[in-house]
Homo-oligomer: A and B are copies of this chain.
């Protein structure tokens, strides 16, 4: 490890990270959690600043209730990355040797257990992010085996709910991401046309995501461009192919921009040629419903009330929508920009509060085509503010 402390270029002031840590420890205290193992890369970044594409090997951050700083652990060749991108002292950065990598003989969670042992936490109440992407079944079993006297419980909800209300600086980054997203969407719509390869439009989308604006570049968004055409718009998560666009194609565009890994999603729909009556009808109903929901949404209402408002708006129409119509979003790494907290659907009784960020996403996927027109918003004191300035309509090429 370098024997000097390089200048820090963290996206937030130290005080903000420390406030996040304090909020996390308070949440741990309320749940009787003494040690928290964080493996979600977004949560790791949120608390420490750590930023590397190293989540393809096991790594994590440990929050110990009585200790001032978090502990980062990961592969030795990434520990300089932790020195360079986090605010942690080097004594709290632990790199494991390469024999722990993708091996049947030793597992990084044994290394994590050794740290807990060394710090006196081997017999205490340990929460893990049970359903986070990079915390595997084997991770859980290895921890149980290595810490037989610890009580291991689910900590999925600890950091993600702390993150739910955004700070002023977080909103700044989300607004920077929004400027990128607007350019990305415009680039995609401009590029689509008869005879153009889908992949060539996708390439321009990627370039716009990363080159960003004259003032700042972008980061990789947490979801790849979703941009199916034709029959492939009947489902939610397909991308481009080598196919060339044809007259009569519908194209769904679900695209993001990101700054400091704060993601800004947006979806719009393009029709090449005259739209069929059925698509026009769906678009009209969906956009009208979207507008009504944006007027309705405000602090004090619950997530399920927002969904009910949407359902009321489309009732009597032919639009059927059985999946949730939105979710909390923000800081994240692949594969998802959603925060896995608020879902706009029946049964979600979360009371909305100022500075929560929600992607209102009433995607419609019918038997042979789909339609998407969405808005990412932030709750204000009185209602909501949209992040994005982009027409709400079916685009015709």
Task: Report A328-366 CB contacts with B as 1/0, cut-off 8 Å.
Answer: 000000111010100101010000000000000001010
Which chain B residues border A340 with CB–CB below 8 Å? 102
Q: Which of B53, B75, B99, B235 is close to A223, meaning CB atoms less than 8 Å apart?
A: B53
**CB atoms of B235 and A52 under 8 A apart:** yes
CA A343 to CA B263, docked complex, whole Å: 35
A341's closest neighbor in chain B, by CB? Answer: B102
Q: Does A115 lie at the interface of the complex (its beta carbon under 8 Å from any beta carbon of B)?
A: no
Which chain B residues border A197 with CB–CB below 8 Å? 217
Which chain B residues border A198 with CB–CB below 8 Å? 217
Which chain B residues border A77 with CB–CB below 8 Å? 235-236, 323, 363, 365
A180: min CB distance to chain B, Å: 11
Q: Which of B52, B97, B105, B199 is close to A210, meaning CB atoms less than 8 Å apart?
A: B199
CA A334 to CA B334, docked complex, whole Å: 7
Q: Does A280 lie at the interface of the complex (its beta carbon under 8 Å from any beta carbon of B)?
A: no
Q: Which of B81, B206, B240, B322 is close to A236, meaning CB atoms less than 8 Å apart?
A: B81
**CB atoms of B223 and A199 under 8 A apart:** no
**CB atoms of B131 and A154 under 8 A apart:** no
Interface residues of A in 1-38 (CB under 8 A from B): 1-3, 6, 9
Which chain B residues border A206 with CB–CB below 8 Å? 203, 206-207, 209-210
**CB atoms of A212 and B199 under 8 A apart:** yes
Which chain B residues border A136 with CB–CB below 8 Å? 130-133, 135-137
Which chain B residues border A304 with CB–CB below 8 Å? none
CA A2 to CA B56, docked complex, whole Å: 36
CA A152 to CA B393, docked complex, whole Å: 50
**CB atoms of A55 and B234 under 8 A apart:** no
**CB atoms of A98 and B345 under 8 A apart:** yes
**CB atoms of A323 and B212 under 8 A apart:** no
Interface residue stretch chosen among A64-72, A117-125, A138-146, A264-272: A138-146
Which chain B residues border A83 with CB–CB below 8 Å? 235
Q: Which of B156, B238, B242 is close to A216, meaning CB atoms less than 8 Å apart?
A: B242
Q: Does A237 lie at the interface of the complex (its beta carbon under 8 Å from any beta carbon of B)?
A: yes
A154: min CB distance to chain B, Å: 7
A278: min CB distance to chain B, Å: 15
CA A196 to CA B130, docked complex, whole Å: 43
**CB atoms of A2 and B234 under 8 A apart:** yes
Interface residues of A in 200-259 (CB under 8 A from B): 200, 202-212, 216-220, 223-224, 226, 231-232, 234-242
**CB atoms of B53 and A338 under 8 A apart:** no
A370: min CB distance to chain B, Å: 9
Given A102-B338, A216-B242, 14 more pairs with CB closer than 8 A: A9-B241, A52-B236, A77-B235, A130-B137, A134-B335, A136-B136, A140-B140, A199-B210, A199-B211, A203-B207, A203-B212, A203-B217, A210-B240, A217-B242
Q: What would be 19 A-B contacts, judged by CB atoms less than 8 Å apart?
A: A2-B231, A52-B238, A53-B237, A75-B323, A78-B236, A78-B237, A80-B367, A81-B235, A99-B347, A101-B343, A105-B347, A137-B137, A199-B212, A199-B216, A199-B218, A203-B212, A206-B207, A217-B241, A219-B239
